[in-house]
Amino acid sequence: MIVACPICRKKVEWEGNSYRPFCSDRCRMIDLGAWVAGEYSVPAEALPSGEDTEEPENL
């Protein structure tokens, strides 16, 4: 199966590609850098104010 690299759009064979879904280590690292830089996000509902700063209860 031929797929397009999500970074550079180069057509690449899926089977046997150790970088899949990317075409190369370079594109894989570009994608990782984008995640680290906060360029991607997973949609979620915002927590009400103060809920994200509470300390966990002692067990």
pLDDT in tens, 7-45: 999 999 999 999 999 999 999 999 999 999 999 888 888
Backbone angles phi, psi at 19, to 5 degrees: -105, 5
Q: Taking 80 as the threshold, does the pLDDT of residue 48 lie above it?
A: no
pTM > 0.75: yes or no: no
- Write down the pLDDT at residue 54: 58
Beta partners for 11?
Answer: 4
Query: The domain 2-36 belongs to what CATH superfamily?
Result: Erythroid Transcription Factor GATA-1, subunit A (3.30.50.10)
Is there a contact between 28 and 19 (Cβ–Cβ < 8 Å)? Answer: yes
Q: Taking 80 as the threshold, does the pLDDT of residue 1 lie above it?
A: yes
Q: What is the DSSP string of the chain?
A: -EEE-TTT--EEESTT-TTTTSSSHHHHHHHHHHHHTT------PPPPTTGGGPPPPP-
- Write down the pLDDT at residue 53: 60
pLDDT confidence tier of residue 50, bands split at 50, 70 and 90: low
